[in-house]
Structure 1
Amino acid sequence: MKPEEQYCDFSTQAVHGGRYLHGEHAHSAPIYATSTFTFDNAEQGMNRFAGNENGFIYSRFGNPTTAEAADAIAKLEAFGLKDEKGDPLELSALLHSSGQSAMVTMFLSNLKAGDKVLTHYSLYGGTHEFLFDFLPGLGIQSLITDFKKIEETENLLMQNPEIKIIHIESPANPTMDCTDLQAVVTLAKKFQVLVTVDNTFSTPYLQQPFRFGVDFVFHSTTKFLNGHGNTIGGVLIGKDKAFMKSIVNRIHKLLGGNSSPFDAFLLLQGLKTLPIRMEKHCSNAKIIAKFLSEHPAVSKVNFNGLPDHPDYVLSQRQMRHAGAVMSFELAAGLEGGRKFIDALRICVRAVSLGTADTLVSHPASMSHSGMKREDRIKSGITDGLIRMSVGLEDPNDLLQDLRQALSATI
């Protein structure tokens, strides 16, 4: 596709990806299983290292397979969006070995000792640990607020000029709380603060944070973007292309968090079916959430696709669908949760999310086990909370499994 051409629909962009030109006219992106790349002569090698000539040097620095996957995701996040000049938005992306690696690159590229990060309750456990246990050792402090309380957030920004980044998960893991991205970005611009978003749960098919003016987006590509649970990966996307290609790229190389070409190849295959997979994931999730909300063994369901969820209207406004992840409390508490998980026959007992099969986990003892209990409770992650990533199975089979598993808790 020529740069000036635009596809009519997101699904076409997903299928055609980055569309690099490949040797021998390969239809699919080859796996460039090489650690290094050759130079035609000494001058070419010097020019590439100096940045005066495009070309690959070493696969930790960049690789054709990983570059194509990164470009494909950047195009999905930018699809249909315009920049400040009214031209099609162009983004820059770097593929990483994990979502955690992409997140670390993002923070370390933008922060130094004395800076602060402002974030919210209910974050992925690994993000919470990095912000509150690791970064303080580098002299970087993190603060928590409720972004729904805009005045309180503004006061924190006024009182803490050291805040350089506002970091958001929306929907948040695992409570599914949503943040009004437009409202936060408007406030951040007033104080010249960057806004970063973990868009893993939504994918660009359901939500495009750059539409609201955020500065960086990252994903664990392990989840819905790949969709098949057979790789670990992450991607960092930024709208300041010069900054991405200089400072961010340098940090990425120095940390050594580059993706494997094999993982990038599998990711490219998953991206092609992203829209149709997300439609099925989301339609199944609506059915499951409604069932759970009406079951006597369930005391609470966190799913912003339910009309009584406090973020229902917001999620309808800034997302295509409510997503495919939910969490819920059982009336029988922690012991009931154990019985429920043990009784499952179709749903799979595993962490992670976004795979073709339905995954059920216990955040307090699994994904968020590294958090202090008091911090978990403040974030709404109780001892009895169950998280479910709804898969692509027939919903009737899932309902049958859930019905019999819930009966074990009564």
Structure 2
Amino acid sequence: MTQGFATRAIHLGYDPKDNEGALTPPLHLASTFAFETAEAGGEIFAGAREGYFYSRISNPTLDLLEQRIASLEGAEAGLALASGMGAITATLWTLLSPGDELIVDKTLYGCTFAFMNHGLAKFGIKVTHVDLSDPGNLTKAISSKTRIVYFETPANPNMRLVDIETVARVAHASGATVIVDNTYATPYITRPIDHGADIVLHSATKYLGGHGDLVAGLVVGTAEQISEIRLVGMKDMTGAVMAPFNALLVQRGLKTLALRMERHSATAIQVANWLESHPDVGVVSYPGLPSFGQHDVAQKQMSLPGGMIAFEMKGGIEAGRALMNGLTMIQRAVSLGDAETLIQHPASMTHSTYSPEERSAHGISDGLVRLSIGLEDPEDILDDLDQALSLRRVAKAV
């Protein structure tokens, strides 16, 4: 019988009896590994025998993390990398060649957007943005040269969703590989492979690590895909290797992921409802709200609405800045998924790699505020938002 999500996140792939009874898996800091014989070393290098020889390719601490994330995502294999961008670049450098087309969603994280449009595009790869919230747009845009269809769901920062199952069906009909960035949802909320995706990526810096003390990336897929990304995209093209200590920290984060995502989501729905009812707040984008434009898609592929909220302040960018500057507990910081509640302004921070014209075209307004709900008491989060908005009202009155 398959064990549950939280049980696998804590126990999979490790038995204390194999490590002198140590309850926590050991940290392997070795850069290189000794061989029993010269012949054994040659066989390991040739792939004829399993084993470790150099931590740029594999390491026992990373191997355990890779097994666990693959299991949690429902994939055959996983690969640990130095950052989320390391996971993205290693994967796409492996799978794309000059002359190929990459179809991506209308909205992407700023550094992903920059890599694709200012990086890949320089090397003869056609990058086409399509509004994938309507799968019919993909049907019109896809061609025989389309190798990959790539998207985030929910999208960073405006929370747009993509129907994974429908988009995957269209992409596969043309022979394209579907890659999903699952950072916002995590496998506890959405498992894209169950809905037809081929490869799933994460910035493990965020919810998987969960404590704001590491930078890391993960990718899962078939054993064949992951082996190719390991030996080409990671080993030779980027060198984006995760440090063993960071792998240990991500393993620690996975142990509490289920609990944390329940708490993030439970608090976020309270905050989203409160924001939606506030007279100074405009549109609130959160999958758990009945007013959310893609609520049906959220119900279809998300078990929880998650911990991320996007909203517009009435009064635009200056109103958003006034709100952020009035906060005392909630921290003005980028990143997300930490124990602390974080707030930021995408247009001037995480998505500043877009030009103003590009932000407008890709659904990232200047007045958008992104809120990552932490693990504090919900009442304290609401009190801080309330006092900051009250300060703004007083300042306007004066």
In structure 2, stretches of 5+ residues that fail to align are: 394-398
One-letter amino acid matched to 1:323: G
Q: CA deviation at 1:23?
A: 3.4
Distance (Å, rounded) in 2 between the aligned partners of 1:303 and 1:343: 23
One-letter amino acid matched to 2:138: T
Distance (Å, rounded) in 2 between the aligned partners of 1:58 and 1:322: 41
Distance 1:210 1:69, change over 3 A: same
- Whether the 8 Å CA contact 1:109–1:248 is kept in 2: the answer is no
| SS of residue paired to 2:392 | coil
- Whether the 8 Å CA contact 2:206–2:338 is kept in 1: the answer is yes
- Whether the 8 Å CA contact 2:265–2:306 is kept in 1: the answer is yes
Distance 1:20 1:35, change over 3 A: farther
Distance (Å, rounded) in 1 between the aligned partners of 2:228 and 2:50: 14
Q: CA deviation at 1:214?
A: 0.9
Distance (Å, rounded) in 2 between the aligned partners of 1:183 and 1:246: 27
Paired position in structure 2 for 1:288 = 271
Distance (Å, rounded) in 2 between the aligned partners of 1:50 and 1:14: 32
Spell out, residue by residue over 1:5-43, the C-alpha distance to the aligned partner (whole angstroms, 9 max, x if none).
521x21211221332664333221111111111111111
Spell out, residue by residue over 1:322-360, the C-alpha distance to the aligned partner (whole angstroms, 9 max, x if none).
111011111121111111111111111110000011010
Q: CA deviation at 1:247?
A: 5.0
Paired position in structure 1 for 2:129 = 144
TM-score, structure 1 as length reference? 0.93
- Whether the 8 Å CA contact 2:133–2:160 is kept in 1: the answer is no
Pick the aligned partner of 1:245 from 227, 237, 242. 227
Paired position in structure 1 for 2:153 = 170
Q: How many residues align?
A: 391
Paired position in structure 2 for 1:337 = 320
Alignment of 1:13-32 (within 5 A): 13-19=8-14, 22-32=18-28
Paired position in structure 1 for 2:60 = 64
Distance (Å, rounded) in 2 between the aligned partners of 1:300 and 1:246: 44
Alignment of 1:105-144 (within 5 A): 105-144=90-129
Distance (Å, rounded) in 2 between the aligned partners of 1:262 and 1:230: 11
Paired position in structure 1 for 2:362 = 379
Distance 1:193 1:147, change over 3 A: same
TM-score, structure 2 as length reference? 0.96
Does structure 1 residue 354 correspond to structure 2 residue 337? yes
- Whether the 8 Å CA contact 1:297–1:409 is kept in 2: the answer is no
Distance 1:64 1:385, change over 3 A: same
Q: Which moved more, 1:298-307 or 1:20-29?
A: 20-29
Spell out, residue by residue over 1:351-372, the C-alpha distance to the aligned partner (whole angstroms, 9 max, x if none).
0000011010111111011111
- Whether the 8 Å CA contact 1:17–1:69 is kept in 2: the answer is no
Distance (Å, rounded) in 1 between the aligned partners of 2:275 and 2:213: 29
Paired position in structure 2 for 1:93 = 78
Distance 1:246 1:106, change over 3 A: closer
Spell out, residue by residue over 1:226-274, the C-alpha distance to the aligned partner (whole angstroms, 9 max, x if none).
11011100001012x1232235433211121110001011111110010
| SS of residue paired to 1:327 | strand
One-letter amino acid matched to 1:161: S
- Whether the 8 Å CA contact 2:158–2:310 is kept in 1: the answer is yes
Spell out, residue by residue over 1:182-208, the C-alpha distance to the aligned partner (whole angstroms, 9 max, x if none).
100111111111100000000000000
One-letter amino acid matched to 2:14: R
One-letter amino acid matched to 1:265: L
- Whether the 8 Å CA contact 1:17–1:73 is kept in 2: the answer is no
Distance (Å, rounded) in 1 between the aligned partners of 2:318 and 2:133: 33
| SS of residue paired to 1:408 | helix
Distance (Å, rounded) in 2 between the aligned partners of 1:152 and 1:226: 35
Paired position in structure 1 for 2:190 = 207
Q: CA deviation at 1:49?
A: 0.7
Q: CA deviation at 1:401?
A: 0.2
One-letter amino acid matched to 1:60: R
Distance (Å, rounded) in 1 between the aligned partners of 2:148 and 2:188: 25
Distance (Å, rounded) in 2 between the aligned partners of 1:285 and 1:151: 32
- Whether the 8 Å CA contact 1:18–1:75 is kept in 2: the answer is no
Distance (Å, rounded) in 1 between the aligned partners of 2:195 and 2:97: 26
Alignment of 1:37-56 (within 5 A): 37-56=33-52
Paired position in structure 2 for 1:216 = 199
